[in-house]
Structure 1
Amino acid sequence: MKRTTLKRAGIIAIGALVAFSTPATAQTTTAHTHAHQAEEVALIDESQVQARALSDWAADWQSIYPYLQDGTLDAVMAHKAESGEKTVEEYQAYYQTGYKTDVERILIDASTVTFFRDGTPIQGEYEDDGYEILTYESGNQGVRYLFRKSGGDAEAPTSIQFSDHNIVPTKADHYHLYWGNDRDALLTEVTNWPTYFPAQMSGEDIAHEMMAH
């Protein structure tokens, strides 16, 4: 299993997903909060990290970006501002960049990942590509699980990378997804992290779940 520790030059920049060839990115640490901050440096014990199968993310998923745009997550932003280091407006701006995506739905079934943009599906077949342990400028570390395309539509991204703050096999309850055609470039992007929750959850359910953490 390949284990690579990468230093990041910085974690604050402006980025947005505009096409499947553009990386969709996420920042992660083991002491993650949805503000993507940690009070103490969070380090990974490499001996504890285990390989994971795509089945850990098998489900029908929805982007939460629309809920940020329509105000459903306003209470979450206010909740963060109560104890965080940003104002409500600053959190809104931070998550506008972080959650931004035009892929509203992702369906994962066996080795097949289907991306939906405006209801139009693009499908790829994916196989395991290991994991990477990343070290960020803050000193925090995180694990991304990688899969490479083995077949499917030409438009489907070559590489997809999951971050759900787990380092052993377990069913994900939400995740941040990076995707694009340059595996290594994806590993350097940390500002735009499209986030997905189960499709059956309402916006209010998601807001409640986020505030409970």
Structure 2
Amino acid sequence: MFILKRPYLYLSVLALSLALVACQDSEKTATTNSTSAEEGESTNDNATSAETADIAIDGLGDHYHTGDTIELAAVLSEDADYDHWHWYTRESGQSEWEVESGQEGDTFSGEASVDGLEIKAALYNDNHEVFAESEPVTIVIDDHHGNDEESKQIYQGYFDDDQVADRELTDWEGDWQSVYPYLLNGDLDEVFAHKAEEGDMTAEEYKDYYTEGYVTDVERIVIDHGNVTFYKDGEEFSGDYEYDGYEILTYEKGNRGVRFIYKLAEKSNEMPQYIQFSDHIISPQKSSHFHLYWGDDREKLLEEVTHWPTYYPSNLDGDDIVRDQLAH
């Protein structure tokens, strides 16, 4: 009888062991699934295995000014039946993402106040798992002339003579485009309408005023290590320029401006003898846009106040330029 019971006892122990292993595997699986579901609703940087689409962020500006409105839209690469969105932000130097309260659709709206702020969007499925998540975009705030009261006064043309300082041509180094084509195609009409709301002219009168100011056939200017190249009607003309001092001008309204003047180093029949920069900045600082005057008579050029071709970085589009002008 003893010999007959031993196999039975062995089989019983084996069955019990298998049952315990199966139970442990089941608990492990349940725990893993629970953790994944919780992470799907969190600000976890890693997309889950449920992700099957890409999200692009549209509407990001080249830069913003303090107080500008940030308007972004999340664009899904394929159709989905889900509408559970969250937007997350993270300041420079932070490791954790924070969910933005009230931003639960596929669009984001907020005020530009933190330079370097990262923003991303995530779409969740019905199981509260991440279906898709965008790459972060970064908000760049550049107030150009400063956001303090003194900087604002200087921009408006109110400053003391001893605040003015010499500037190198490197302050305007870069690739620049004329703003005149954007006026011609109507992109700047929004700017003129905005000026009419606060100014003393109609939108059409502002457009006429700026048309006279912006008109030029030099559609692009490249400045590099003292060399200035004009692009005109498909042709290029270049010359090296050296600093020739500055002049402070007083305008009819009582405000003032500074012309920083550069003289052609070697005579050329193609390039002007003088170029004069005016950009509302009165001391060394990288320029964000400028008005340029050029000609062969230094003193006569200083009298020109109605025609001021204006240039912005060539990597900006019409929306970027409108945003910049509305801020001023």
Q: Which residue of 1 aligns with 2:220?
A: 105
Q: Secondary structure at the match of 2:266?
A: strand
Structure 1 stretches of 4+ moved >2 Å? 29-32, 151-154
State yes or no: 1:127 paired with 2:214. no
TM-score (norm 1): 0.80
Shift of 1:48: 1.1
**Match runs of 1:132-171 below 5 Å:** 132-151=247-266, 153-171=268-286
CA contact (8 A) 1:51 1:168 kept: yes
Report matched runs for 1:1-213 at 5 Å: 30-32=154-156, 42-151=157-266, 153-213=268-328
- What is the CA–CA distance in structure 2 between the aligned matches of 1:147 and 1:86, rounded to whole Å? 35
Between the aligned partners of 1:140 and 1:212, the Cα distance in structure 2 is 20
Aligned length: 176
CA RMSD of aligned residues (A): 1.3
TM-score by length of 2: 0.52
Seq. identity, %: 55
Which one has the largest radius of gyration? 2
Kindly state the Cα deviation for residue 152 of structure 1 after the two structures are TM-superposed. Answer: 6.5
CA distance in 1, matches of 2:318, 2:233: 19
What's the CA shift string for 1:72-107, capped at 9, x where partnerless? 111111111111111011011101101010100000
Q: What one-letter code is carried by the residue in structure 1 that aligns with 2:324? A: E
1:151-181: CA deviation from partner (whole Å, max 9, x where unpaired): 2642100000000111110000000000011
Conserved 8 A contact 2:178-2:310: yes
Q: Which has the higher contact order (CA 8 A, sep 6+)?
A: 1
Relative to total residues, which structure has the larger helix share, 1 or 2? Answer: 2
Q: Which amino acid counterpart does residue 47 of structure 1 have in structure 2?
A: D
Using the TM superposition, give the Cα deviation of residue 118 of structure 1 relative to its aligned residue in structure 2, in angstroms. Answer: 1.5
SS at match of 2:195: helix
1:9-35 deviation per Cα after TM superposition (whole angstroms, max 9, x unaligned): xxxxxxxxxxxxxxxxxxxx9443xxx
Q: Give unpaired runs (5+ residues) of structure 1.
A: 1-28, 33-41
In structure 2, stretches of 5+ residues that fail to align are 1-152
